[in-house]
Amino acid sequence: MDASGPAGDGAPHADAGQLDAAWQSAIGSIAAARRRSDDDRGDAVGVTVLTGFLGSGKITVLRRLLAEPVGLRIAAVVNDIGPVNIDAAALDDLQVASRTPDRVELTNGCACCALVDDLAETLERLASAGTSDAIVVEASGIADPATLAAATESAAGCTLDGVVAVTDAQHLAAQLDDPRTAPAVRRQIDVSHVVVLSKIDLVSDVEVQALIDRIGQIAPGRMVIPAAHGRIDPRVLLGAAVRGATFRADAGGHPFEVATAAVAPAGPWEVTDVARWFELPPVPLVRAKGWFTSPDGSRHELQAVGRSWRIEPASRQPDTVIVLIGDSPEAVDRAAASLRNLS
């Protein structure tokens, strides 16, 4: 299932006025982009903000972009909310040409950079180097994409190419129904110019269509791209300037408060014990990810979103750490203590 198209075709709440407003907004942003280009950004590097709630699949999309860049030199700026930058480490098994503490050069001309300064400074440094055709900023799961877009616009040598929101087909409906998470998820969809509906291989075709319709109600006229395993043509995501990205930096965010805790070293634990723990954790968790060891010395990668989890053999030998993300310090501290007791 790789078809794409505008969200909300026939959606009952997408009236003509909403569609017209969305269209006029897109036209306005195209004109603004052209004015910027004509004024002083003719040689600016396009920056795409990759947003999405915790566990939506952003890092999978980013890995695909870096692994299969269709001839583009892509620089990725990676930022994570946990005490350990799991997402940056997850890119390490791509073919690496060289490495420094805050940058990994890949053999295909792409690069992965840690966000070590404020975003505008990081982008300016990448743009001035002249080694990238496009830059992708992977936002943390709770970051306001409009704020990141505004920072991009303020960076010398850069121009906003678009905002791409990754949504999780398995959990999107529940996130939109949950008053704690709904404002942040709706905000990410509303700010974006393209919505990626990830993990469609884990739900039915009927559910996919229902989610596309629901996205259309939130953001009439928005393009939705169903995707499995993060497979998306980079030219679809990295050419947004010709279509226009719509965002309102002054619209006001709705932050989703989270707390994190790290369990390190993680293990040694039996895989069956870890699986049983995530089937019935002591407190609800929003997200968990990382690596742990088994008593036999083997290492495993853990990915968990809500009550869904996956444990696989690690493809590399990373440091063992599990990052837990929940909605209060008390919750994650209790979960971390319980997880440590598995040893």
DSSP string, 38-101: HHT-TTPEEEEEEEE-TTSSHHHHHHHHHH--TT--EEEEE--SSSS-HHHHTTTTS-EEEEET
Q: How confident is the model at residue 33 (pLDDT cuts 50, 70, 90)?
A: very low
Q: Token pair of 97, please?
A: 């040409």
CA distance 231 to 144: 25
pLDDT tens profile 112-151: 777 765 788 889 988 998 888 889 998 888 778 888 887 8
- The per-residue pLDDT of the chain, averaged, comes to 76
Looking at per-residue pLDDT, the higher value among 97 and 197 belongs to: 197
Looking at per-residue pLDDT, the higher value among 262 and 89 belongs to: 262
Contact by Cβ (8 Å): 163, 245: yes
pLDDT value for 20 = 39
**Model pTM greater than 0.75?**
no
Residue 7 has pLDDT above 60, yes or no: no
Q: How confident is the model at residue 238 (pLDDT cuts 50, 70, 90)?
A: confident
The structural domains of the chain, ordered by start, are 5-242 (3.40.50.300), 259-340 (3.30.1220.10)
Looking at per-residue pLDDT, the higher value among 307 and 125 belongs to: 125
CA distance 223 to 234: 15
Residue 262 has pLDDT above 50, yes or no: yes
Q: How confident is the model at residue 287 (pLDDT cuts 50, 70, 90)?
A: confident
Q: Token pair of 90, please?
A: 């997850």
pLDDT value for 83 = 53
State the DSSP code for 35: H
Strand partners, 137: 49, 77
Looking at per-residue pLDDT, the higher value among 101 and 57 belongs to: 57
Residue 30 has pLDDT above 90, yes or no: no
